[in-house]
Amino acid sequence: MQWKKSPPELIASFDRAAPEDPRVTRKPMFGYPAMFVNGNMFAGTFQDKVVVRLAEADRAELLTRRGAQQFEPMAGRPMKEYVVVPPAIVARTAELRAWIERALSHAAALPAKKSATKKTAAAKSTPPKGAERKSTPPKGAQRKRS
């Protein structure tokens, strides 16, 4: 299967529908724009599609819509909780935003990925640029005598 970039119009629709939530981080997944919360991806583009990760009831509801389908990045390899959003919904920013927000709610309730919690902890313990660092030896370390 040939991989292709997401069209600029699709990325623009995805960007317009992005939730304004400080917990949301954006980074590429497999080279495509994606949104994450607590290290869990909840929405993204893939080639010419927008995909969302939904709770079971929301998945069932979206799959009743014409054009929706379970997301399979490779034939025969479905991603269990992900659904392809129908193009008719992608074309309507408010409706797409509502589905992305449902996906955010679902992913926010999942356990945080360990890498996300480590990065958050590291960010909190890292002093701001320009701040002085104290040079203290680690506990148990012996000081050299002159």
Note the pTM of the prediction, 2 decimals. Answer: 0.76
**For position 74, what pLDDT does the model report?**
84
Whole-angstrom distance, CA of residue 92 vs CA of residue 25: 23
| DSSP designation for 113 | P
**DSSP per-residue letters across 68-107:** -EE--SBTTB--TTEEEPPHHHHTSHHHHHHHHHHHHHHH
Q: Which helix (H) or strand (E) holds 36?
A: strand 32-37
Q: Are 42 and 109 in contact (CB under 8 A)?
A: no
Whole-angstrom distance, CA of residue 30 vs CA of residue 23: 21
Planar angle of CA 109, 15, 35, nearest 5 degrees: 30
Whole-angstrom distance, CA of residue 41 vs CA of residue 29: 9
**For position 141, what pLDDT does the model report?**
55
Count CB-CB contacts under 10 A for residue 132: 6
**For position 76, what pLDDT does the model report?**
87
For residue 105 the two structure tokens come to 């709610």
Tens digit of pLDDT at every position of the chain (146 positions): 567 899 999 999 999 999 999 999 999 998 899 999 999 999 999 999 999 999 999 999 999 999 999 999 888 898 989 999 999 999 999 999 999 999 999 999 999 988 755 555 555 555 545 544 444 555 555 555 55
